[in-house]
Structure 1
């Protein structure tokens, strides 16, 4: 009886599984991260490059899950990262702080290809930055890491990937 019930469930579930569209997928690669402009604090405080890259990968994957349609894939090669602000040496246990000002916006150099069922929809290389980032992204009191980078990439993802607006020249 138990075996026949399992067989019945399996036969009912098979057409549903076959009819489900392929899930969207984001693949992120970091090209020569040892040469990135600024992906870690040089003075020993803050997050390591490994943690920064893992967080950027997670962010791209999360944005892809929200914006990509089933059957679409996005390959992103991160060619350079320059986090918002700059490292300022200091004395004491922290050994340095990140100072954010309007002259130090976050900047990413990306090469990306968006495909749908193997057909290329969009492919480009561009530098993603916003010189007005302090005016556009009112800092929340949440204290989350990479706030400006998140907002910049969220806006870029919406414009470029979700809405497929071409890069500005």
Structure 2
């Protein structure tokens, strides 16, 4: 009986250790997306487009989780988003607005973040970070097909590599 109790205790401890290793390392909070500068759909409802954008950006942020050291966590609060391009009712195809991509409509995002190490200590934190890519049409990867939000993804990747990666990279 005693052996069974120790065996069950060992399984319980192992399961808890495994579960804690699988915790998400990036948590994104979307603060009032209905008020963002540009999260307008070219077609469909605004609510469903917001959900699609948030889901896509959650995946973009989640990609950065793989680059964090084990145990590190990143907490982000997105305060504003302005997608590349502009939806203008003047440009329509078959009664649907289209998103026009021009250099003057560059992607932008405002957010707060905290980077925490494995002990929970804050390694880096900043509020009202304003990220933009005014040269997005010249600096983003070409030939990736119709990858949605590629300009915004490249903008965030550049920010991550320039500002966060040095905080945990080994010298």
Q: TM-score range by the shorter chain?
A: 0.7 to 0.9
Work out the CA distance in 1 between the residues paired with 2:20 and 2:51. 34
Aligned mates of 1:157, 1:45 — CA distance in 2? 31
Paired residues of 2:92 and 2:98 also in contact (CA < 8 A): no
TM-score, structure 1 normalization: 0.78
1:136 paired residue number? 139
- Whole-angstrom CA distance in 1 between matches of 2:45 and 2:106: 20
* Equivalent residues in 2 for 1:69-84, closer than 5 Å: 69-84=69-84
Say yes or no: does 1:87 pair with 2:48. Answer: no
CA deviation profile, 1:89-128 (whole Å, cap 9, x unmatched): 2344351111111111110101000011210000002101
Question: How far did residue 44 of structure 1 move?
Answer: 3.9
* Residue correspondences, number: 159
* Superposition pairs of residues 20-169 of structure 1, within 5 angstroms: 22=21, 25-41=25-41, 44=44, 48-64=49-65, 66-89=66-89, 90-93=91-94, 95-116=96-117, 117-125=119-127, 126-164=129-167
Runs of 4+ in 1 over 3 A off after TM superposition: 17-24, 42-47
Contact kept, 8 Å, 1:45 with 1:94, in 2: the verdict is no
Q: CA deviation at 1:21?
A: 8.3
- Contiguous gaps of at least 5 residues in structure 1: none
Task: Tell me the CA shift for residue 19 of structure 1.
Answer: 9.6
Structure 2 stretches of 5 or more lacking a match?
A: none
Do the aligned residues in 1 keep the contact of 2:116 with 2:123 (CA within 8 Å)? yes
Partner SS for 2:167: coil
CA distance 1:49–1:71, shift in 2 (3 Å): same
Shift of 1:138: 3.9
Q: CA deviation at 1:42?
A: 5.6
- The alpha-carbon deviation at position 70 of structure 1 amounts to 1.1
SS state at 1:68 partner: coil
Output the CA distance in 2 between the equivalents of 1:19 and 1:145: 34
Pair 1:22–1:138, CA change in 2 (3 A): closer
Distance (Å, rounded) in 1 between the aligned partners of 2:76 and 2:21? 19
